[in-house]
């Protein structure tokens, strides 16, 4: 299947510190992947791993330091044409984590959904109202006439997130970047939002990027999964395969740490980590996970591992579990 | 209550608590507790007549969604409710002593000596311009007569207990990660060897890996020291792993109480069932989940009868007899098997 968006070698460096002792956080480093129509691709990792930055780079909310984002007729990161940029923005929409902060408190719900319809001239003026109602119905907000007249504070968190989704859908996007869309919602209504995303994926063939730290929800809605650590993708593959047989020790750690009603805490304790966060600040050669890794060998702190397809469709960045041929030769000798 | 004179101000308080099998003494008991918020003449009943009991050495989980009143319960136990919130009924007994009747002086000793609390996003509770050691000193010397040296030694031990190097006592909060700050707060909560530690969403703001590390540590320390824990969270999947017993709160009421095993195996209340149905599984078969339709009620105008009935899949006008009870009669907690209580008309006879 052809891809909708192709990300190639994407990188973002943020400068930190003052004039003296300036350092760079490699928030995103050499990230490549594709988003395909009718597919949910999950991007998981802990806070600070760079997963949100990836979504924001694709949405062009940050300027990338390096790399390309290919969409239809070319690289959207380099495009100078305002018209093309507007068209790109209409087709690539973002849903944010905080449904309380992403709606204007003094405007009605109707206003929020009308605006993109008018700005991007999706439907003739006379049909705007009808389309607003249709969108509200699509995201399960009924009766739409009542909801449209309300203000954000009159809605619950789950309803607000549905409004944010309706607004994103207004412009008939091909791609939706959803940044932790359920993490601020109550447990009992999260599933509703996830089910809505599945429905939209199936009915509208939207390509979703689902950014989350929750492996279980990623398994629930995603087809493909990418695991990020310290700015790099460390594992990628079909979601069931990655979760059933994770290659990268970091994926294994995430899996062991995820809440699981089937076990008792302390049954299967994880190792307390020694040193974490600094891995993406002015990184040197070597694996960024090496300091926390239970299976690291000598080469891990010297040579940066490449992404290697160790099993069909499953790619990992690990010298031990997914060695490249030349590294395998070094390790075995 | 006369405090026992001990050789060291932080000496082991009750070594017998660490012995297995001593579980059973009641540490905290809530009886028909009612907490109201009065906002411009309107009354919002955040906690509506709940009963809870925590025994020595046990971890009691209290689960529910935002606005169900679970944090209000914690604040009531600590006696830190602020107007417009007020206890308007029932009692809170700490080792059979009525907390609501405590003098200001007694309350000062009760808080932190007897019961301590780790708040939601407690990692922001540290003073940003004070070193960690000074914050320990402040807290300890406000409650106990100790020399600076003794207090610092104790603080160092506590930090090690929660997995932080002693030298970090000299650090400022911004030099620590979120997980480390949360551990510092937990160490402080343990400093005076309280009987009961209330953890209110202690790990919600943290990453899964850090969350698990901290919970493992808390459980280990709890086993060592034998204190009781009231663990409040919206994350039922987490409680099933951590807690001994769990109470489920909905709209100001407890709708189900059981051991973690009972709840995992056979949840009886449709709300509990819905909550459990809201967590997609990490392993095994994957089916389309439904969650719970609708959203929690507005507590200034809660539904009549069973408060869950507007969202309940078993509430059907076609079943007229049951429907009438569900929409008019408030269900009471009833014992369905030893240790397992449910407040639901389906369970109390009427047939599902």
CB contact under 8 A, A262 and B295: no
Residue among A191, A213, A277 whose CB faces B177 most closely = A277
Does the structure's ipTM exceed the value 0.90? no
Secondary structure (DSSP) of A125-191: GGGHHHHHHHHHHHTT--SHHHHHTS-GGGS-HHHHHHHHHHHHHHT--SEEEEESTTTTS-HHHHH
Give how far B24 is from chain A: nearest CA, Å.
Answer: 22
Q: Give the pLDDT of residue B352.
A: 41
Average pLDDT over residues B96-123: 89
Q: Which of the four pLDDT bands, split at 50, 70 and 90, describes residue B349?
A: low
Q: Which residue from B minimizes the CA distance to A214?
A: B208
The shortest CB-CB distance from A257 to any of B212, B281, B286 is to B212
Q: Is-contact A307 A327, C-beta < 8 A?
A: no
Indicate which of A162, A187, A218 best probes the interface with B, i.e. most B CBs within 10 Å of its own CB.
A187
Q: B177 vs A266: CB contact, 8 Å cut-off?
A: no
User: Do residue B275 and residue A158 have CB atoms under 8 angstroms apart?
Assistant: no
Tell me the nearest-neighbour CA distance from A7 into chain B, angstroms.
27
The reported pLDDT for the residue numbered A278 is 56
Q: Which of A215, A259, A261 sits opposite B264 (nearest CB)?
A: A261
CA distance B57 to B20: 9
| Distances, alpha carbon B146 to alpha carbons A252, B55, B113, B137, B143, in Å | 46, 30, 14, 9, 9
Q: Are A178 and A211 in contact (CB under 8 A)?
A: yes
Please answer yes or no on whether B283 and A215 come within 8 Å at the CB atom: no
Cα dihedral B312, B317, B321, B323 sign:
positive
Chain B residues with beta carbon closer than 8 angstroms to that of A190: 278, 291
b/e A213-228 (16+ beta carbons within 10 angstroms → b)? bbbbbbbbbbebbbbb
Q: Phi and psi of A48, rounded to 5°? A: 90, 0
Reported as a single tens digit per residue, the pLDDT across B254-298 is: 999 999 999 999 999 999 999 998 889 888 888 889 888 888 888
Q: How confident is the model at residue B4 (pLDDT cuts 50, 70, 90)?
A: very low
- The whole-angstrom separation of Cα B252 and Cα B172 is 39
Contact at CB, B282 and A195, closer than 8 angstroms: no
Interface with chain B: mutation pick from A40, A225, A265, highest number of B CBs within 10 Å: A265
Contact A318, A247 (CB under 8 A): yes
Does residue B159 register a pLDDT over 50?
Answer: yes
- Cα(A39)–Cα(A28) distance, integer angstroms: 23
Task: Decide: B204 and B28 in contact? Cβ < 8 Å.
Answer: no
pLDDT digits (tens, 9 = 90+) for A274-290: 545 457 788 888 999 99
d(CA A330, CA A326): 6
Say whether residue A51 is in contact with chain B using an 8 A CB cutoff: no
Nearest beta carbon to residue B282 from set A215, A276, A277: A215
Task: Please tell me the predicted confidence (pLDDT) of residue B19.
Answer: 41
Stretch B107-125: mean pLDDT = 86
CA distance B70 to B235: 12
- Let me know: does A293 contact A249? Beta carbons within 8 Å: yes
* Chain B interface residues (partner A, CB cutoff 8 A): 65-66, 163, 177, 207-213, 215-217, 219-220, 234-238, 240-242, 260, 264, 274-283, 286, 288-293, 295-296
Task: Please give the Cα distance from A315 to A311 (Å, whole number).
Answer: 7
Range from A269-283, B60-74, B114-128 carrying the lowest mean pLDDT: A269-283
pLDDT < 50 regions, chain A: 275, 277
C-alpha closest to that of A28 among A49, A1, A4, A47: A49
In the prediction, which pLDDT does B212 show? 87
Kindly give the interhelix angle for A249-257 and B208-225, rounded to the nearest 10 degrees: 50
| A243 contact B CB<8A | yes
Q: Is A67 helix (H, G, I), strand (E, B) or coil?
A: strand
Measured between beta carbons, the chain B residues lying within 8 angstroms of A270 are 209, 212-213, 216
B220 to B165, B233, B242: CA distances (angstroms):
18, 20, 11
Q: Which residue of B has its CA nearest to A158?
A: B295
| Phi-psi domain of A323 (left: phi exceeds 0; alpha: psi -120 through 50; beta: other) | beta
Report chain A residues whose CB lies below 8 A from the CB of B242: 265
Q: How far is A102 from chain B (nearest CA, A)?
A: 20
Chain B nearest CA to A292, separation (Å): 12
pLDDT score, position A265: 65
CB A130 within 8 A of CB A148: no
Interface contact B220-A273, CB threshold 8 A = no
Residue B14 distance to chain A (closest CA, Å)? 25
Please tell me the predicted confidence (pLDDT) of residue B330.
93
pLDDT at B84 over 70: yes
> CA of A232, closest CA in chain B: separation in Å?
18
Query: CB–CB of B218/B186 below 8 Å?
Result: yes
CB contact under 8 A, A220 and B280: yes
B198: closest CA of chain A, how far (Å): 18
State in Å, rounded, how far the first CA of chain A is from the last one.
Answer: 41
Domains of chain B, by residue range, sit at 26-250, 253-278+297-342
Tell me if the domain spanning A5-278 has CATH number 3.40.50.10800. no
The pLDDT score that the predictor gives to residue B198 is: 95
- Rounded distance between C-alpha atoms, residue A102 and residue A160, angstroms: 9
Give which of A51, A183, A186 to mutate to test B binding, by max B Cβ within 10 Å: A186
Cα-Cα-Cα-Cα dihedral sign, residues B211, B217, B220, B222: negative
Beta bridge partners of B248: B63, B256
- The chain-wide mean pLDDT, for chain B, equals 87
Given pLDDT bands bounded at 50, 70 and 90, which one contains residue B305? very high
Q: Is A162 on the interface with B (CB under 8 A)?
A: no
Task: Tell me the per-residue pLDDT of A4-57, one tens digit each, with 9 for 90 and over.
Answer: 899 999 999 988 876 677 888 889 999 999 999 999 999 999 888 899 999 999
Nearest chain A Cα distance for residue B45, angstroms: 19
More confident residue, A56 or B18: A56
Chain A residues in contact with B282 by the CB 8 A cut-off are 215-216, 219, 243, 255, 258, 260
Pair A208, A197: CB distance under 8 Å: yes
Q: Is the pLDDT of residue B304 over 60?
A: yes
* Residue ranges of domains in chain A: 5-278
pLDDT for B169 beyond 70: yes
Q: Nearest Cβ partner of B237 from A219, A253, A261?
A: A261
With 0-12 / 13-18 / 19 or more C-beta atoms within 10 angstroms meaning exposed / middle / buried, residue A134 is: middle
Q: Which residues of chain B neighbour A47 with C-beta distances below 8 Å? A: 207
Q: Point out which residues pair with A92 in neighbouring strands.
A: A175
- Mapped onto helix, strand or coil, the DSSP state of residue B231 is strand
Please name the residues in contact with B3: beta carbons below 8 A apart, sequence gap of 6 or more.
none
Instruction: State whether CATH 3.30.420.40 applies to domain B26-250.
Output: no
User: What is the rounded CA–CA span in Å between residue B261 and residue B181?
Assistant: 32
Considering only CB atoms, A259 lies closest to which of B210, B235, B274, namely B235
On whether the CB atoms of residues B63 and B243 are closer than 8 A, the answer is no
């Amino acid at each position: 299947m052809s891809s909708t968006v192709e990300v190639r070698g994407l990188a973002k460096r943020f400068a930190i510190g003052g004039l003296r002792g300036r350092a760079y956080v490699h928030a995103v480093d050499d990230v490549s992947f594709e988003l395909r129509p009718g597919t949910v691709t999950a991007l998981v990792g802990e806070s600070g791993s760079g997963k949100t930055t990836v979504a924001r780079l694709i949405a062009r909310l940050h300027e990338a330091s390096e790399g390309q984002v290919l969409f239809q007729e070319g690289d959207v990161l380099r495009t100078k044409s305002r018209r093309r940029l507007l068209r790109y923005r209409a087709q690539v929409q973002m849903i944010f984590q905080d449904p309380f902060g992403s709606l204007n408190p003094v405007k009605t719900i109707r206003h929020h959904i009308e605006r993109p319809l008018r700005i991007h001239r999706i439907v003739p003026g006379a049909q705007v109202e009808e389309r607003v109602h249709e969108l509200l119905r699509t995201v399960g907000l009924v009766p739409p006439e009542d909801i449209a007249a309300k203000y954000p504070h009159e809605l619950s968190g789950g309803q607000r997130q549905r409004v944010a989704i309706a607004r994103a859908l207004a412009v008939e996007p091909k791609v939706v970047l959803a940044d932790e869309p359920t993490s601020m919602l109550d447990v009992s209504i999260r599933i509703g939002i996830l089910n809505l995303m599945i429905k939209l994926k199936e009915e509208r063939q939207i390509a979703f990027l689902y950014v989350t730290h929750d492996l279980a929800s990623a398994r629930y809605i995603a087809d493909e999964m990418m695991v990020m650590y310290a700015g790099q993708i460390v594992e990628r593959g079909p979601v069931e395969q990655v979760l059933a047989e994770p290659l990268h020790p970091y994926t294994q750690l995430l899996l062991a740490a995820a809440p699981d009603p089937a076990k008792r805490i302390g049954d299967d304790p994880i190792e307390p980590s020694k040193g974490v966060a600094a891995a993406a600040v002015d990184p040197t050669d070597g694996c960024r996970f090496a300091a926390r890794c239970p299976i690291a060998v000598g080469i891990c702190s010297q040579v940066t591992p490449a992404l290697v397809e160790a099993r069909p469709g499953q790619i990992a960045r690990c010298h031990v579990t997914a060695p490249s041929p030349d590294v395998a030769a070094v390790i075995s000798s | 209550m006369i405090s026992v004179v001990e050789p060291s101000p932080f000496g082991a308080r009750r070594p017998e608590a660490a012995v297995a099998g001593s579980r059973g003494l009641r540490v905290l008991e809530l009886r028909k507790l009612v907490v109201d918020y009065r906002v411009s003449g309107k009354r919002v009943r955040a906690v509506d007549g709940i009963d809870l009991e925590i025994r020595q050495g046990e971890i009691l989980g209290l689960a529910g969604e935002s606005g169900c009143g679970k944090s209000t319960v914690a604040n009531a136990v600590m006696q830190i409710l602020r107007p417009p919130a007020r206890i308007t009924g029932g009692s809170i007994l700490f080792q059979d002593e009525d907390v609501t009747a405590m003098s200001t002086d007694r309350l000062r000793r009760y808080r932190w000596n007897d019961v301590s609390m780790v708040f939601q996003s407690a990692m922001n509770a540290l003073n940003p311009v004070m070193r960690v050691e000074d914050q320990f000193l402040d807290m300890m010397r406000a409650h106990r007569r100790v020399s600076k040296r003794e207090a610092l030694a104790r603080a160092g031990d506590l930090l090690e207990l929660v997995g932080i190097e002693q030298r970090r006592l000299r650090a400022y909060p911004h030099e620590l990660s979120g997980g480390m700050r949360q551990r510092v707060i937990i160490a402080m909560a343990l400093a005076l060897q309280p009987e009961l530690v209330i953890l209110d969403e202690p790990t919600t703001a943290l990453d899964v890996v850090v969350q698990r590390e901290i919970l493992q540590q808390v459980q280990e320390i709890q086993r060592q020291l034998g204190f009781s824990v009231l663990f409040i969270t919206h994350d039922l999947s987490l409680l099933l792993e951590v807690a001994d017993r769990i109470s489920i709160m909905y709209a100001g009421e407890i709708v189900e109480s059981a051991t973690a095993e009972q709840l995992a195996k056979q949840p009886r209340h449709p709300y509990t069932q819905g909550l459990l149905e809201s967590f997609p599984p990490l392993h095994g078969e994957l089916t389309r989940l439904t969650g719970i339709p609708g959203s929690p009620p507005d507590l200034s105008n809660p539904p009549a009868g069973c408060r869950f009935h507007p969202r309940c899949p078993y509430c059907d006008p076609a079943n007229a007899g049951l429907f009438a009870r569900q929409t008019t009669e408030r269900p009471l907690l009833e014992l369905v098997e030893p240790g397992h209580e449910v407040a639901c008309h389906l369970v109390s006879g009427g047939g599902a």
